[in-house]
Chains A and B, each alone.
Chain A
Amino acid sequence: MITAERKPLSELVECVRPYGRILLLGCNECVTVCAAGGRKEVGLLASSLKMAFSKDGKNLDIKEITLERQCDPEYVEELAPHMGEAEAVLSMACGCGVQEVARRFMDKPVFPAVNTKFMGASERQGIWSERCAGCGDCVLGITGGICPIARCSKQLMNGPCGGSSGGKCEVDAEMDCAWQLIWDRLKALGLEKRYEENMPAKDWRPGRGAGPRKIIREDLAR
């Protein structure tokens, strides 16, 4: 999923200060799962903002709407009837959702309420960690299912480096060395020989090397 964290309240207060009526949006997808911008977080932020302004004697009118998905135009269209009365939009979706709302409603100021972080997985409740960097050329099949791009601090294709110690990374003693994990997994699979094969330099063009990316499935796009 795409993970995110709410921005500091002080930053959000400044974003909406010029306005009296705002639309506060949540998204039922990734940001709900990582507890950053789902229906519950929308409720908490609405309550927080109302109180923050109440302290200064200002009554902030907030309408809360959580869409099924904020990165799809079909769902964003549902906002049309509510947009007229809103002076500004504050969105708790990831950057994709914020941009989709901004694209559809050109005349409304749209502010992000979260910082979008990374594509990650849940380690356990309340802990998410980075697992995929979207490099566009997946190597998980040859690295034992552990990504050296997303999980090695140096994105090494032939690790580990000299900073790997006791299975941990020199960048942070709490951080697993991805190449230790890869070795352990290859060993468990009986594929130690694969480790001996040098991987060639990675072609970064399928990643961000050639600008913003687009996928076109002609059979679907027609």
Chain B
Amino acid sequence: MENFEPVVVAFACHYCAYTAADMAGTKRLSYPPNVKIIRVPCTGKVDMLHIMKAFEKGADGVCVAACLDGDCHFRTGNVRAASHVDAVRKLLDEIGVGGERLEMVALSAGMGERFAQIATEITEKIRKLGPSPVRKVSVAAGAA
């Protein structure tokens, strides 16, 4: 467990969080490489199944990074994403993976520092929670 490096998948909205991550890079801010970013056109496009598949394939944590309240480029995509995240959290609790492994955060395109901070906090939180209970099997199956 000492060598455990969590895998965190971040679904980042093109109009805010992804740009914030880009800005973090431009500003030469460091954040843990554990966070694997998937750019999405809007977090409202992140299907519940996308999140589930991330866990199924071995992610220890997932983060959905959306625009600030009222700032969605498509008006209510971030609101819809919040409902999806709530539903998947309940499902993860039901499965026994733990809903706390799924986070939703909101930030604007200019928040490079905030993105780096969130990436660090989530990585540390997942590190404390330990490997996902499904990770061992899925990683072994993937290697086979």
Contacts and interface: CB of A to CB of B under 8 A. Distances in A.
A11 to B, nearest CB: 11
Nearest to B88: A44
A59 B49 contact: no
B66 to A, nearest CB: 20
Given A54-B134, A55-B134, A59-B137, A47 B52 contact: yes
B73 interface: no
28 contacts: A8-B94, A9-B95, A40-B47, A40-B48, A40-B49, A43-B52, A44-B49, A44-B52, A47-B49, A47-B53, A47-B56, A48-B91, A51-B55, A51-B56, A51-B95, A51-B97, A51-B134, A52-B95, A54-B56, A54-B134, A54-B137, A54-B138, A55-B95, A55-B96, A55-B97, A55-B137, A57-B136, A59-B137
- Tell me the interface secondary structure of chain B in the complex: helix
Contacts of A57: 136-137
B1 interface: no
Q: Top 9 nearest A-B pairs by Cβ distance?
A: A47-B52, A54-B137, A54-B134, A55-B133, A9-B94, A51-B134, A52-B95, A43-B49, A51-B95
B38 to A, nearest CB: 17
Interface of B: 47-49, 52-53, 55-56, 91, 94-97, 133-134, 136-138, 141
Contacts of A50: 56
A198 interface: no
Residue from the set B56, B97, B137 with the largest chain A CB neighbour count within 10 Å: B137
A44 B141 CA distance: 20
B49 to A, nearest CB: 5
Contacts of A40: 47-49
Interface residues of A, number: 15
A48 B90 CA distance: 11
Nearest to A57: B137
Interface string A1-19: 0000000111000000000
Contacts of A8: 94
A95 B97 CA distance: 30
Nearest to B94: A9
Nearest to A10: B94
B94 A44 contact: no
Contacts of B138: 54
A54 B133 CA distance: 8
A146 B119 CA distance: 55
A48 B52 CA distance: 8
B123 to A, nearest CB: 22
Contacts of B53: 47
Interface string A34-53: 00000010011001101110
Given A44-B52, A54-B133, 14 more contacts: A10-B94, A44-B48, A47-B49, A48-B95, A50-B56, A51-B55, A51-B134, A52-B95, A52-B96, A54-B137, A54-B138, A55-B133, A59-B137, A59-B141
Contacts of B134: 51, 54-55
B139 to A, nearest CB: 10
B48 to A, nearest CB: 6
A77 to B, nearest CB: 28
A110 B136 CA distance: 31
